[in-house]
């Protein structure tokens, strides 16, 4: 019963219509050479995205429960498992809670790989194209699953560091609405729903 209710909340009647991409007017900022180099290095690591869980049982529980909630968004089970493994890997690699990243993706793109916002932000995590020029390579495709999640998690980690761990302000920066409550609150609601599931 609880799983069915959560599935409805996450895939159906969330605060945002599922066809919208939420990304705001995130602005390009001048990065110091050292920060630019550090972010570029974070992107360029090409380790295989096989996440490390506390145990096989934890891995199975985490993937199975969350995959069930994504069935309406991603009909193929292989796609769901690949997506979730990549989220878990990239989030933990960046020192982020995977459920936070799922909540952000839900808010930003409703789990649509090819979402494009009115501000031209792209993909699951609605990454702005200027980041490719700032810290990436011209050939980086922001619609590619792992590339999009690598950028998004790296950028959110950068904003968290800038804001000395203040997630409210970091999320505002991510959306281009620093100091305003609407966007961070939406992410917090989505995050809490994902966190209410079994951790394994």
Task: For residue 57, give the H/E element and its range.
Answer: helix 56-69
Q: Which stretches within 70-175 are classed as H helix?
A: 77-93, 98-109, 130-135, 145-162, 167-175
Q: What pLDDT is attached to residue 125?
A: 97
For residue 58, pLDDT over 70 is answered with: yes
Band of the pLDDT at 10, cuts 50, 70, 90? Answer: very low
What CA–CA distance (Å, rounded) separates 58 from 198? Answer: 9
What CA–CA distance (Å, rounded) separates 120 from 129? Answer: 7
Tokens of 190: 């989505």
pLDDT tens, 105-134? 999 999 999 999 998 999 999 999 999 998
Q: How far is CA 89 from CA 26, 49, 70, 182, 194, in A?
A: 25, 6, 18, 28, 17
Domain positions in the chain are 2-11+39-195
Q: Which has more pLDDT, 22 or 37? A: 37
2-11+39-195 CATH: 1.10.530
Q: What pLDDT is attached to residue 161?
A: 94
Residue 193 burial (CB count, 10 A): 19
Instruction: Give first-to-last CA distance, the chain, whole Å.
Output: 19
Stretch 27-39: mean pLDDT: 70
What is the Rg, in whole angstroms, of the alpha carbon atoms belonging to the chain? Answer: 16
């Amino acid at each position: 019963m609880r799983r069915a209710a959560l599935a409805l909340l996450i895939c159906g009647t969330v605060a945002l219509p599922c066809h919208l991409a939420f990304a705001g007017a995130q602005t390009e900022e001048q990065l110091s050479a050292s920060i630019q180099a550090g972010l570029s290095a974070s992107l360029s690591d090409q380790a295989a995205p096989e996440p490390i869980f506390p145990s096989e049982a934890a891995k199975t529980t985490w993937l199975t429960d969350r995959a069930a909630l994504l069935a309406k968004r991603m009909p193929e089970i292989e796609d769901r498992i690949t997506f979730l493994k990549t989220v878990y890997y990239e989030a933990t690699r960046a020192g982020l809670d995977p459920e936070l990243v799922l909540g952000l993706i839900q808010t930003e793109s409703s789990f649509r790989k090819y979402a494009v916002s009115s501000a031209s932000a792209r993909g699951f995590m609605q990454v702005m194209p200027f980041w490719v020029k700032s810290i990436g390579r011209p050939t980086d495709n922001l619609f590619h699953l792992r590339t999009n999640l690598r950028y998004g998690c790296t950028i959110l980690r950068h904003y968290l560091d800038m804001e000395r761990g203040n997630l409210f302000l970091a999320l505002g920066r991510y959306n281009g609405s620093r100091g305003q409550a609407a966007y961070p609150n939406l992410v917090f609601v989505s995050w809490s729903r994902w966190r209410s599931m079994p951790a394994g």
